[in-house]
Amino acid sequence: MPTPFETEIAALLREHKDPRKVADDLVTRWRHRVLSEAEQIDCAQFLLASGLYPLLFEQIERITLERTRVPWAQLVELLGRSGLKPDELEVRALVDGAESQDGGVSELFRSPYLDVLDETLAERRRKLRAEKDREIEEKKSAFKDKLQFMRANRLFDQEKQVLEEIQAQFPEEPEFAAERESFQLRWAREIVANAAPETDLTSDLHWKLDKLTPEQTAMKDLIVARARELAKAKPALAYDLALALHQMDLNADAIEVLDFGYTSGASDWLRLELMILARQFVNALDHASKLEVTYAGDPDAAFAVTYARARALYGLGQSSMAVDLLRSLVRIRPNYKSAQSLLLDWSGGDA
């Protein structure tokens, strides 16, 4: 994932269409100490990638004399790409310089070009890399243990927090990406399974919207329009935007926003719940049938579909069919509290 500064560099490159012009702009900022240390590294990497070695040599010489932060990994790569091989004394000076700055050694040993400069350093780099890999694996293992505990105890909020922490530290890890998708799917099912029972499904957002002032209506329209724009421009945001609209009881609008997003297990189940809450009962029945086929091998999915189908039928006035469905569901899964509660309401206490 590119850093914000890398994104800015890419934009400058598209604008100027000349790496040298972009480099001159960036180095000027670097010399005036406008760039952060992380941005300086991004700048050095851009100079390397652009083949502007003399400019990078010149800048590194300047910051060395000024005793400011040196991009050690890029310096080693610069030496390697330029075909320069420092002698033993120069290599020692390179290591001493890195050791004089916090984190400098870690930066220095990130570059694979170090293996070419000195065999002793190459071995040291391999050991540090192995130690770092071991630390990463231990951290991953700890995260997995946390997730397993949260999942076993159905602590959805805590599990979500752990996943957000994992996302920050391992954004590209496929294993954890699968964990996030699994969580979203289970959470979406939880929304459907634990939706608040309603004795009268006609008592929904319509009466609320009728009571909005003109100013509130204008604000609602503005929020919905902006959500549609964002979802259309960035489909990955559609699911979260739909959830936000759902929290505001704008369920029909949430469905439209969800249409701009990518199809996933989580969006499938959210769409079903939104259809019921928006009183799109016929559409909900059709969607429930599709989910029944898509997730045929998942027992939990079958219960969620049956529960949703009962609610949709009740909304269409098919109360006897809805009650029969809930009774069959409760017989198979007596601990399904939402279904039990709804059954008692709809059957007048005759479960």
Which of 129, 148, 175 corresponds to the end of one domain? 129
Pair 208, 231 in one domain: yes
Contacts by residues 344-350 (CB-CB < 8 Å, ≥ 24 positions apart)? 345/197, 345/199, 346/199, 346/314, 346/319, 346/322, 347/323
Buried b (16+ CB within 10 A) or exposed e, 219-237: ebeebbeebbebbeeeeeb
Statement: residue 327 has pLDDT above 80: yes
Asked whether residue 86 falls in the same domain as residue 197, the answer is: no
Q: Give CA 236 to chain center in angstroms.
A: 9
DSSP percent split of the chain into helix, strand, coil, nearest 5: 75, 0, 25
Asked whether 70 and 101 are in contact (CB, 8 A), the reply is yes
Domain count of the fold of the chain: 3
Q: Rounded to whole angstroms, how far apart are CA atoms 164 and 167?
A: 5
Indicate whether 177 belongs to any domain.
yes
On whether both 262 and 152 belong to a single domain, the answer is: no
Domain match, 110 and 46 both: yes
Question: How far apart (Å, rounded) are the C-alpha atoms in residues 44 and 10?
Answer: 14
Residues 178 and 201 in one domain: no
CB atoms within 10 A of CB 116: 14
Predicted confidence (pLDDT) at residue 217 exceeds the cutoff of 80: no
Residues in the chain: 351
Angle between helices 72-81 and 37-49 (to 10 degrees): 10
328 falls within a domain: yes
Radius of gyration of the chain from its Cα atoms, rounded to whole angstroms = 29
| Structure tokens, 348 | 């007048």
CB 297 within 8 A of CB 219: no
pLDDT at 200: 44
- Of the three residues 129, 147, 165, the one that is the final residue of a domain is 129
pLDDT confidence of residue 198: 45
334 lies in some domain: yes
Asked if residue 351 belongs to a domain, the reply is no
What is the structure's pLDDT at 284? 92
Q: With 80 as the cut, is the pLDDT of residue 181 above it?
A: no
DSSP string covering 247-269: HTT-HHHHHHHHTTS---HHHHH
Render pLDDT for 268-319 as a digit per residue (tens, 0 to 9).
Answer: 999 999 999 999 999 999 999 999 898 888 878 888 888 999 999 998 888 8
Q: What is the pLDDT of residue 130?
A: 76
Question: Are residues 231 and 330 part of one domain?
Answer: yes
Contact indicator for 84, 56 with CB cutoff of 8 Å:
no
Q: What pLDDT does 189 receive?
A: 59
Q: What is the DSSP string of 205-228?
A: HHHHHHT--HHHHHHHHHHHHHHH
Which of 129, 158, 178 is at the close of a domain? 129
Q: Is the pLDDT of residue 35 over 80?
A: yes
Is the same domain home to 210 and 297? yes
Same domain, yes or no, for 325 and 216? yes
- The verdict on 175 and 230 lying in the same domain is no
293: domain CATH number is 1.25.40.10
Q: Which domain holds residue 181?
A: 134-186
pLDDT at site 272: 93
- Stretch 26-45: mean pLDDT, rounded? 89
Distances (CA, A) of 202 to 113, 276, 287: 69, 11, 20
Please check whether residue 228 is in contact with residue 203, taking contact to mean a CB–CB distance below 8 angstroms.
no
One domain for residues 276 and 164: no
Highest mean pLDDT among 41-45, 94-98, 107-111: 41-45
Is 143 found in the same domain as 97? no
Residue 205 has pLDDT above 50, yes or no: no
pLDDT confidence bin for 163, thresholds 50/70/90: confident
CB atoms within 10 A of CB 314: 25
User: Could you tell me the pLDDT band of residue 203, with boundaries at 50, 70 and 90?
Assistant: very low
Clarify whether residues 320 and 208 are in a common domain: yes
pLDDT of residue 197: 45
